[in-house]
Amino acid sequence: MAAETYNPWTIVNLVFAHLAEQGLHPALGADGHPGEPAAALLRAFGIVPTVEGDARVQAGIHDELAALRARMLGETP
């Protein structure tokens, strides 16, 4: 049986909606990028976050590819 997958932000949103219904005011990433606090929340529920959905990883890949294009093809980033 294949493992079920979910968009991690759907789960984070569900948790935050529940907390807001209880009169709480949750904040995630108030001090920066919310990716790591969101990943910690998912891990607390036993959900293993993957890097495919992490915008920071994707941004790093785009930056690396731009640097490679600049080096190899003389393009300006």
Tell me if 13 is assigned to some domain.
Answer: yes
- DSSP-assigned letter for residue 33: -
Tell me if 24 is assigned to some domain.
Answer: yes
Judge contact between 28 and 38, C-beta under 8 A. Answer: yes
Quote the CA–CA distance of 16 and 10 in Å, as a whole number.
10
Total domains in the chain come to 1
Q: pTM of the prediction?
A: 0.50
Tell me if 1 is assigned to some domain.
Answer: no
Quote the CA–CA distance of 19 and 42 in Å, as a whole number.
15
Tell me if 2 is assigned to some domain.
Answer: no
Quote the CA–CA distance of 5 and 14 in Å, as a whole number.
15
47 residue type, one letter: I
39: domain range? 8-73
Express each pLDDT in 18-28 by its tens digit: 988 999 887 87
Express each pLDDT in 34-53 by its tens digit: 777 878 888 898 887 766 65
Tell me if 18 is assigned to some domain.
Answer: yes
Q: Which two structure tokens, joined as six digits, stand for 44? A: 């607390």
Look up tokens 């929340």; give the residue. 41
